[in-house]
Amino acid sequence: MSGSDCRRTIMHIDVNSAFLSWQAVYNLQKGEALDLREIPSVVGGSQADRRGIVLAKSIPAKKFGIVTGEVLWQARQKCPGLVVVPPNYDLYMKCSNMLYETMKEYSPKLQRFSIDEMFLDYTGMEPHFGDVLAAAHMIKDRIKKELGFTVNIGIGANKLTAKVAGDLKKPDMVHTLFPHEIEGKMWPLPVGDLFMVGRQTKKKLLEMNITTIGDLAKADRKFLCGRLKSFGNVIWCYANGIDESPVYSGYYLQMKGIGNSTTIKFDVTENRIAHKVLLSLTESVSLRLRAARACCRVVSVEIRTAELSFYSHQRKLMNHTNITMEIFETVRELFDECWKNERIRHLGVRVTDLCSDEFMQASIFDGQCKSKKQALDSAIDVIRCRYGNDSVMRAVFADGEFAPMSGGSGGEDYPVMSSIL
């Protein structure tokens, strides 16, 4: 453990069954008597729109073996009386923002990790709010009383151990995972429970007879690097509770990329319709890019056909940008270059190679209207933020042939953080 870890105290706040909890609280406030959290229920996409997957589940639904990401027809087979409610992403962002504003009262260092998770650096805040354990219980109870939903709070000497602690047992719990507790609390857990150990990595580790986090922590680091390259060193450090990444103050975590994708209600067979879908996705990605005060240099398009085959195409731009129409111009070119005229079921847009928008490299090839495009995007962002995504609509969508994205698409509208670091 590094010396900096021993001096820090980090909280990880995680909303229990976020989408479903927020929907349940909203329904109760609207006068409904039934609490979705107390019955087998899920938040799920529309099967008619071909987005029929489980996005969030209640604890009673979990007892039937229903898992997040499962298709709805399978979930209904497990629980015939399952209650399914459609997602409401605007509501979820409002709830997330209320939680964020509440947490800002307890530390100047607060990092939003995802829509339902955040890190809070409690180091040095004891004189204001007391012992960290007492403060965590006070925060948890306040959220439940004032906002109506429950959270888990994990406490550790760094972000990694705080996150692991928060996942130990749910819901509505506070857990600690300090350096002296790692061997007893974290090492016995299955290796697949470790942050950043996904399905494929877990499979490789099991082939090496590494079944628990403790096995990974005690494994030879050189051996792991030989099998897993530099990633072996990363997960070895995590298994030993080593993480020196700071809590980034601000609304967004530094991201490797931002993307949005959607499964379309019907099979697309015309590039004219595909361009509309891609423009809608590009608007969503570009808005979040600007909100993160970032610019991108790599743009990629993803296509999934009606036969479920998948391919993508990407290009590196001459200069970084966050202007919607500049990104869309590249998106449209990429699509036209790679589409093989198959029936399209799913489209996606992703931007990577991000940098801050504080300073932008100018180019002699920039058009004269660049500053006007930036001002236009900024004005539209302000209007949509204040009055909703549908308050300003491009004329190309006015015929109603394809409705633009409205705050999400089947649970894929929010950035996925690739690493704590």
User: Which tokens hold the place of 112?
Assistant: 């939003």
User: Which tokens hold the place of 304?
Assistant: 């999934």
Residue with tokens 């004005």, as numbered in its chain: 379
The one catalytic residue among 70, 101, 105, 117: 117
- DSSP readout, 141-156? HHHHHHTS--EEEEEE
User: Which tokens hold the place of 310?
Assistant: 């998948």
- DSSP readout, 51-103? --BEEEE-HHHHTTT--TT-BHHHHHHH-TT-EEE---HHHHHHHHHHHHHHH
Type of residue at 238:
Y
CB 119 within 8 A of CB 113: yes
- Across the beta sheet with 41-44, what order do the strands follow? 54-57, 41-44, 83-85
> How many whole angstroms separate alpha carbon 321 and alpha carbon 360?
8
> How many whole angstroms separate alpha carbon 11 and alpha carbon 9?
7
In the chain, the largest separation of any two C-alpha atoms, in whole Å, equals: 65
103-109 contacts at long range (C-beta below 8 A, 24 or more positions apart): 103/13, 103/139, 106/135, 106/139, 108/249, 109/246, 109/247, 109/249
Q: Is 117 a catalytic residue?
A: yes
Q: Which residues are CB-neighbours of 17 under 8 A, at least 6 positions away?
A: 37, 56, 57, 58, 59, 171
CB atoms within 10 A of CB 186: 25
> How many whole angstroms separate alpha carbon 325 and alpha carbon 420?
32
Provide the annotated active-site residues.
Answer: 117
